[in-house]
Amino acid sequence: MINQVYRLVSARQFEVTYKDRSLQSDYVVVRPEYLSICAADQRYYTGTRGKEAMSAKLPMALIHEGIGKVVFDRSGKFKIGTRVVMIPNTPTEVDEYCAENYLRSSKFRSSGYDGFMQDYVFLEADRLVELPEDINPKVAAFTELITIATHSITRFEAKAHKRRDVLGVWGDGNLGYITSLLLKKKYPNSKIIIFGKNQYKLDHFSFVDEAYQIDEIPEDLLIDHAFEAVGGRGSEAAINQIIDHIYPEGSIAIMGVSEYPIQLNSRMVLEKGITIIGSSRSGRKDFVDTVELMKEFPDIVDYLTTLIGSVQSITTIGEIIEAFEKDLTVSWGKTVLAWNI
Ligand SMILES: NC(=O)C1=CN([C@@H]2O[C@H](COP(=O)(O)OP(=O)(O)OC[C@H]3O[C@@H](n4cnc5c(N)ncnc54)[C@H](OP(=O)(O)O)[C@@H]3O)[C@@H](O)[C@H]2O)C=CC1
Ligand SMILES: O=C(CO)[C@H](O)[C@H](O)COP(=O)(O)O
Ligand SMILES: [Zn+2]
């Protein structure tokens, strides 16, 4: 069959490519239903990802957050019509000590490999996780982003010391919202504090114990552990502020992506014996755990509807561009694409 792939060829420019795909294979074929734009896609779309990365990775189809329906599965593992979340990481080997998302050999969709902006996506069966029938598909669209928080909290649980009286999250955006929400669910007796730049965004975090604007943090406030969900230029200030407010021997999970190396107050990292936990992307286990969590606690999905910024129907390349441009102008929530192309 001929599959249409919608690739970014240079900043703000998409082209359709036609790829001949055989159905005589073990791939499961999924028709994308709802996709969602990640900050990483915007760095490619706008060209801010940097000249070197742009020329190394383009042309490629963007988007690594999305759900769809199975339209073909030779193995019969999935019934036709099953709604699934697609896992963008594609490992090519297994390592006893290194998770699939940290293996340098893994391929990650929309970071050098075609993402989900295609008429049909061909995936190995283990790159799909079945979703509950009744899940809100516009929230499920950004399940991948939820798995980022799941993955980071799992690493924190394994690597940080066990006092969890006060946990701080820096970043009053999408990832900060999801991370604080999952932390509150997992550690109901811990004090969860959100630190952000904008009062109108902090007002959305109704489930946290305390919220502070970053220029109004009491000097004597101390946290046991922290999660950084800022990224970009703001990462540096956020991580250094965390270093100032963390109790000795605490851990800092860094999730925000920055294009440039940032400067850390390394002297205080040493003096306080701080553990820094880098956390990037996610793997199958994080998707399975996240879907189970959403099944067990439907209120999590209810809270996450707050993050549906806008839903754009996509029927043409022009509408893809409109959706990316509109996403750049909104300051709260995720842009969900109803994939009708
Ligand atoms: N590790 C991983 O695997 C993943 C990482 N990411 C990365 O996580 C980062 C956050 O993504 P997302 O939540 O979608 O982005 P958002 O832009 O929604 O969130 C970032 C938020 O942090 C706020 N902020 C800026 N500076 C500070 C500061 N010093 N302290 C506290 N908050 C601050 C921003 O405010 P304002 O807008 O006013 O500046 C914004 O509200 C990005 O870099 C993204 O690429 C995303 C997915 C996966
Ligand atoms: O969003 C992400 C995962 O959900 C990561 O930020 C993304 O994978 C980083 O990739 P790149 O190096 O291409 O910017
Ligand atoms: Zn992402």
H or E stretch at 17: strand 13-20
Q: Write out pLDDT tens, residues 163-205.
A: 999 999 999 999 999 999 999 999 999 999 999 999 999 999 9
CA 20/CA 18 separation, integer angstroms: 7
CA 37/CA 8 separation, integer angstroms: 14
Q: Write out pLDDT tens, residues 99-144.
A: 999 999 999 999 999 999 999 999 999 999 999 999 999 999 999 9
223 secondary structure, DSSP code: B
Nearest Cα to Cα of residue 197 among 174, 173, 175: 173
CA 276/CA 21 separation, integer angstroms: 44
Q: Is the CB of residue 333 below 6 angstroms from any atom belonging to ligand 1?
A: no
Q: Is the CB of residue 237 below 6 angstroms from any atom belonging to ligand 2?
A: no
Q: Is 98 exposed, middle or buried (0-12, 13-18, 19+ CB in 10 A)?
A: middle
Q: Determine what percent of the chain is predicted with pLDDT higher than 90.
A: 100
CB 143 within 8 A of CB 67: yes
Minimum-distance ligand 2 atom for the alpha carbon of 110: 13
**How many CB atoms neighbour CB 232 within 10 A?**
15
Give the Å distance between the CA of 161 and the centre of ligand 1: 26
Please tell me whether 64 is known to bind a ligand: yes
Ligand nearest to the CA of 56: 2
CB 68 within 8 A of CB 31: yes
Q: Determine what percent of the chain is predicted with pLDDT higher than 70.
A: 100
**Cut 0.90: pTM above it:** yes
**Which residue has tokens 């851990």?**
251
92 secondary structure, DSSP code: S
Nearest Cα to Cα of residue 123 among 35, 21, 34: 21
Q: Is the CB of residue 234 below 6 angstroms from any atom belonging to ligand 1?
A: yes
What share of residues in the chain are helix, strand, coil (percent, to 5)? 35, 30, 40
Give the Å distance between the CA of 248 and the centre of ligand 3: 31
Ligand nearest to the CA of 111: 2
Instruction: Tell me what pLDDT residue 152 has.
Output: 98
- What is the Cα Rg of the chain in Å? 20
**How many CB atoms neighbour CB 241 within 10 A?**
20
**Mean pLDDT, residues 290-301:** 97
Q: Is the CB of residue 264 below 6 angstroms from any atom belonging to ligand 2?
A: no
By most ligand atoms within 8 Å of CB, the mutation choice from 38, 101, 172, 243 for ligand 1 is 172
The residue whose C-alpha atom lies closest to atom 16 belonging to ligand 1 is: 173
63 secondary structure, DSSP code: -
Q: How does strand 275-278 pair with strand 308-314?
A: unpaired
Give the CA count within 13 Å in the CB-facing half-sphere of 265: 15
How confident is the prediction for the chain on average, in pLDDT?
Answer: 98
List Cα–Cα distances, 319 to 65, 117, 128, 182, 271, in angstroms: 18, 13, 27, 33, 52
Minimum-distance ligand 2 atom for the alpha carbon of 39: 1
List Cα–Cα distances, 102 to 88, 90, 146, in angstroms: 13, 11, 18
Q: Report residue 307 as tokens.
A: 């993050």
By most ligand atoms within 8 Å of CB, the mutation choice from 102, 281, 334 for ligand 2 is 281
Ligand nearest to the CA of 150: 1
Residue 196, helix vs strand vs coil: strand
The residue whose C-alpha atom lies closest to atom 15 belonging to ligand 1 is: 173
CA 210/CA 202 separation, integer angstroms: 10
Give the CA count within 13 Å in the CB-facing half-sphere of 285: 8
- Find how far residue 184's CA is from the centre of its chain: 19
ipTM of the complex: 0.99
CA 229/CA 175 separation, integer angstroms: 6
Q: Write out pLDDT tens, residues 230-253.
A: 999 999 999 999 999 999 999 999
CA 83/CA 31 separation, integer angstroms: 10
Sorted by sequence, the CB contacts under 8 Å of residue 9 that are 6+ apart come out as 15, 58, 59
For the chain, helix (H) and strand (E) counts, in that order, are 11, 18
Q: Write out pLDDT tens, residues 200-229.
A: 999 999 999 999 999 999 999 999 999 999
